[in-house]
Structure 1
Amino acid sequence: MKAFRWMGGLAAAIVLFGALAAASNAETSQDPRAAMMHKVELRGKSGRIKQDRYWHDALAAMTKLDRADFVPSDQRISAYRDTPLPIGFEQTISDPFVVAVMTSLLRIEKSDRILEIGTGSGYQAAVLAGLALDVRTVEIVEPLAQRASETLARLCFDNVTVRAGDGYDGWPDGAPYDAIIVTAGTPRIPQPLLDQLKPGGRMVIPVGKGFWDEQLFLVTKSRKNKVTQKSIGPVMFVDFTGKVRGQPQR
């Protein structure tokens, strides 16, 4: 996972400051994992996040995981902070709030088959695996793909398959997918990913010209293959690398 952080407006930041202060006080009576999830819940209530079944499903799936299992040993002391953390190779594990938001936007059902682009630590894949039937995930940094695969196997996530490769191409032999999630910023939506999204499916992807100009988009494909895009809000992700950077703008 490669997300940096969710960027809110000034008003949201003011409300969020109060919410996080309350969460900080709660830490004295909660274990660190519970305190982390409490902060995520408060951020959701303070922002524009729809408090529906899918939001609560995402939180429930995250509650079952130990984020410390997915970070390098030197970062475990910070594993329960609601912030991105470095995982090596100039990549990061997303802050838990971003993971919850992106997961809930996919509106995952138990029978769904999911494609993730940007495996990173494997944490987002593990969250998806707790909600869906099958998860396929692609990571361009081969050592990260190997490490994530080993972590997920050790934790007995037998419905996740990791592949090292360029996420621009997706995973064609597993298509179509009910949902696709991209965890790196891209200047445009890769056409292969749109092609691999099932009619009626949803994609969550950060799109922008650069690091400071990214929006998280919810992309939906109708039953008649009409594609629509909706901006959810500004975000900051590390770059989607590979073929997408060599493609001409359209």
Structure 2
Amino acid sequence: MTEPVRILVPNPGAMTLEGTNTWILPGAGGTPAIVIDPGPSDFGHLNRVRAACPDGISEIWITHGHADHVGGAMRLAEWTGSPIRAYDPAISMTDPLRDGERGQVGGNAVICVTLPGHTRDSIGFIVFLDDGPVLFCGDTILGRGTTQISWPDGNLAQYLATLDKMERLVQLFRVRRLMPGHGPVIMEPTATIRAYREHRLQRLDQIRAAYQKGHTSVAALVDAVYGDLVGPTQKAAELTVRAQLEYLELT
């Protein structure tokens, strides 16, 4: 397989960074490609995705069900006749993706791995490229900054367990790069995963300390721990605080 192709959705913002990453896994010898996360229902973007797959699309894979990743999947499926596959049966048009499922893309092996935490349906794909394995991880880890735990669909206990699972997979398969749903490619997988875990544990300590000082409402905890936020970043912090309170059994 040639190098995966990234096509950036034109939806930059506080939560999407430069935009959502649509990834294309090219086929080999004129075989169809696989598209990971076609993005929202943006006509121009979906046309660029289709144009980047001159030999067609065999399947459309979804890392999780947020609209900026899956919103355009049905339109792309209708244009190309390609089935949508996701871990969530409500999104899949055919057999849902399964943890440990193995397959081939462009002559290279692929393993599906569930990554719950950001959302309960998050799933990733280890693709064994010629220069070493890479892991497409959706929003579980971002190319820059940290991800939101989307309570109540997201769960912090699951997320911390997923970080442990990702580190084991990276070491087991010698994964060289993480291919995120937003932001640049991550060239130091193990160090990044460990930094994410440490960040989450520090946040839990901060939430616990603020709660003990009397900041018991979600709004008060956001102000005490995250500072002054507005718009989507404030909403994201509120949902993550709710997930932290649930994890600490303070609700």
Q: TM-score interval w.r.t. the shorter chain? A: 0.3 to 0.5
Structure 2 length-normalised TM: 0.32
Report which of the two has the higher share of helix: 1
> By percentage of residues, which structure has more strand?
1
| CA radius of gyration, larger in | 2
The structure, 1 or 2, with the larger RCO (C-alpha pairs under 8 Å, 6+ apart) is 1
- Given the two structures, how large is their TM-score scaled by the length of structure 1? 0.33
